[in-house]
Chains A and B, each alone.
Chain A
């Protein structure tokens, strides 16, 4: 990889200052960014490592919200009793990301900021209607994801925490791509306290993570696997590669949604 200056601030304001520099880029756990750098697909002049900032780490319950610091590792989420009690689907999700080593380093903030179309966390953020808090503002998940690897984050903006409304039930059903073991098509299903159902789909969409309104409406009125059968999931807009055609991914959306419903029934 190209060389760069390595900056390891211990507080957020120093990190934000450092990120104002030309060619500066934030580094979370690095589990996605470092392979990209090895391929010389990015050439930052400064990497600002956020993992030394303690205030970005941690999990806490705040009323009907679960707040996870942007620098919290997948491993910490997977092992958290607080998360398991509040949003078990998030434990399922975090424990299925990558492998133990990736989970020990990778962070929720890094995952969301990268918005890989096959990453797991974006499905949960969308399905739960999370609020992404940065050093500058709060962004609703529905506004945050802007297509492949694109988010509404501005330059120098750092995800400090993710606020998840606590649903009445949740699950994550992952179907892996056979090589990368990222999501080929995975579903985060949440039953919200207002009775609504939200379905986040990752891995499938040609534009990245999305919510499936047809499934949400059908399940909102009849929470059963048979309700899924009646929904048409279009192949159009699904991505196409060696491991999945649009038709296959559309099928998986329904199959994995049904499995999610069964898991919660």
Chain B
């Protein structure tokens, strides 16, 4: 066992990990943050996507021992400070981009990273960008709409600020 320290959603945290402890296990079992989910064991479903140092990664395919000192953002860190839904989360509710909610945290985290890199993606780019996330409920139709809606809101806010 080794002690791993990192910043999760802006807070300094530390916990115990074995060599084989995955980031998702550390989040769920050590830090008791269960918003990040595990839906497969072949690194394909993306229910576990979080951000590490500003990039989306699959937390089920990342050893926590490699992340001592890293900055991690999870779904629990995506709401506004006052507890209201963040822009992408709100877009998911507005566009009915979720049903059972299980894949949703990973979808939100992937889209957040996508829009950081490409603020105004086309529908094809959104669909391509969701290649590492499986949803069994929505047929992706409203997830795509949520991404488009969030992109419009974020770029509108950016323009307003400029």
The short answer to whether A and B are in direct contact, CB under 8 Å, is yes
Are A99 and B63 closer than 8 Å at their CB atoms?
no
Binary flags per residue of A10-51, CB closer than 8 Å to B gives 1, else 0? 000000000000000001001100110111000000010101
Binds B, one of A1-9, A186-194, A223-231, A253-261: A1-9
Q: A6-B63, A6-B66, A51-B66 are in contact. Are A101 and B20 (CB under 8 A)?
A: no
Query: Which residues in A have their C-beta under 8 angstroms from that of B55?
Result: 75, 104
Q: Tell me whether chain A's interface is mostly helix, strand or loop, or mixed.
A: mixed
Query: Which residues in B have their C-beta under 8 angstroms from that of A39?
Result: 41
Are B19 and A99 closer than 8 Å at their CB atoms?
no
The bracket for how many chain B residues form the interface is 20 to 34
A218 adjacent to chain B (CB < 8 Å): no
Are A102 and B41 closer than 8 Å at their CB atoms?
no
Q: A49-B65, A52-B66, A99-B131 are in contact. Are A104 and B56 (CB under 8 A)?
A: yes
Query: Which residues in A have their C-beta under 8 angstroms from that of B62?
Result: 30, 34, 105
Query: Which residues in B have their C-beta under 8 angstroms from that of A35?
Result: 41-43, 61
Most chain B C-beta atoms within 10 Å of own C-beta, residue among A27, A35, A75: A35
The bracket for how many chain A residues form the interface is 20 to 34
A181 adjacent to chain B (CB < 8 Å): yes
Query: Which residues in B have their C-beta under 8 angstroms from that of A1?
Result: 20
B95 adjacent to chain A (CB < 8 Å): no
Distance of A6 Cα from B46 Cα, bound (Å):
24
Are A100 and B110 closer than 8 Å at their CB atoms?
yes
Query: In residues 44-60 of chain B, which contact A (Cβ within 8 Å)?
Result: 44, 46, 49, 55-58, 60
A98 adjacent to chain B (CB < 8 Å): yes
B124 CB to nearest chain A CB (Å): 13
Distance of A6 Cα from B18 Cα, bound (Å):
8
Query: Which residues in A have their C-beta under 8 angstroms from that of B114?
Result: 100
Are A100 and B65 closer than 8 Å at their CB atoms?
no
Ordered nearest first, which 5 A-B pairs have the shortest CB separation?
A99-B132, A6-B19, A6-B65, A99-B131, A104-B55
Q: A47-B63, A100-B56, A105-B61 are in contact. List 14 more A-B contacts (CB 8 A).
A: A1-B20, A6-B20, A8-B66, A30-B61, A30-B62, A30-B63, A34-B60, A34-B61, A38-B41, A99-B46, A99-B131, A100-B132, A102-B58, A180-B44
Question: Can you list 12 residue pairs at the A/B interface with Cβ under 8 Å?
Answer: A3-B18, A8-B66, A30-B63, A31-B43, A35-B43, A37-B20, A98-B131, A100-B129, A102-B43, A102-B132, A105-B58, A180-B44
